[in-house]
Amino acid sequence: MIERGEFVRLYGGVFEHSPWIAERAYDHGRIAAPLMADALHEALCAEFRAASREERLGVLRAHPDLAGKLAIDGELTAESTAEQAGAGLDRLSADEHARFTELNERYMHDLGFPFIIAVKGLGKDDILKAFEARVANDVNTEFATACAQVERIAGLRIAALLPQESA
């Protein structure tokens, strides 16, 4: 079995800047050898879902704005940088960047956390369309949607690190 510190080092960043999720999953006995992507994802998601609303809100707030200041300043995590670049968010025109900035500010002001979407497989136009649709949601609807997206992002990150379970 993998040692706790090594486990947290390897998987503590799966949920953005929230190693406590990996720590709790390990401490609660949810981690079993051999580590497989689906089982690990479920274990970490179970801890995320069991967390208080305030803790989950902290996870949401740990995510960067899409195409925001951290991206421009090169201060995203390696995972977020790759994910945003893969969706073309590092190559926005001035007008596109202005629209993302406007939506980021409105979303954060109205909802209290950044817009979160699993960008893998999406292009900037797909993301912008989803952003424009979701910015009008009420806080509870969007909180649930953002949490589901965080879990999806975690699953994609885990799948890049571990083998999938075979059928």
> Is there a catalytic annotation at residue 63?
yes
Q: Are 18 and 79 in contact (CB under 8 A)?
A: no
Three-state SS annotation for 89-123: CCCCCHHHHHHHHHHHHHHHHHHCCCCCCCCCCCC
Q: Are 100 and 67 in contact (CB under 8 A)?
A: yes
CA 93, CA 20: separation in Å to the nearest integer?
38
Q: Are 98 and 126 in contact (CB under 8 A)?
A: no
Please enumerate in sequence order all residues whose Cβ is within 8 A of that of 146, keeping only pairs 6 or more positions apart, or say none. Answer: 60, 113, 115, 116
Of the residues 28, 41, 63, 97, only one is catalytic, namely: 63
Catalytic residues: 63
